[in-house]
Amino acid sequence: MDHASAGTGSSRHISMELLKATSRISLTHIPYRGATQSITDLAGGQIGAGMSAVAVVLPFIRDGRLVPRAVPQAQRSALLPDVPTFAEAGLPGFQFSTWVSRYAPKGTPRPIVNQLNGELRKALGDAALRERLTPLGLEPAPSSPEDLRDMTRSGHVRVGKLIKDIGIKPE
């Protein structure tokens, strides 16, 4: 089956390669020059599979041109509560998500890092802000600087190994 991505090495390409490696499904990568045309071709039936941020494909799901099979996060999406996770759908061990993070320069004093983290956590805890982020497909999950560091490192190891194993080269 062909799968579309926004280009070689894009997060959508990596996510499908991880799915391929985890599931042993035979998938052929079809790189596009961006997300828009790949999603359009997926919705039009020219491509058999793809993975994308929920907010990007939600209009196609709502009008029936795309049918979500599973979400790659550990928990179900707030935007698609009836769609199972891959683990619930029978593929335990497959998870993939992208995230938006805030970083400070190396050497930033710890009290400043703690203050920035505290303010960010406070903002992300605000119900009005969360209501504005959710329709965009953003599901805030505030964490500590240490948790972010650990998540970043483990993601680099996991994705870095896959990139090396399958020979993805930047284009």
- Name the more confident of 169 and 66: 66
Confidence grade of residue 42 (pLDDT, cut at 50, 70, 90): very high
Choose from 14-18, 38-42, 107-111 the range with maximum mean pLDDT: 107-111
Burial level of 17, CB count in 10 A (0-12/13-18/19+)?
Answer: buried
Neighbours of 97 (CB within 10 A): 15
Mean pLDDT of 66-84: 92
Provide the pairing of β-strand 2-5 with 49-50: parallel
pLDDT at 171: 66
- Total number of residues shown for the chain: 171
Mean pLDDT of 91-113: 90
CATH 3.40.1350.10: does it fit domain 2-100+154-166? no
Question: Is pTM, for the whole model, over 0.85?
Answer: no
pLDDT at 63: 95
Residue 49 has pLDDT above 80, yes or no: yes
Residue 2 has pLDDT above 70, yes or no: yes
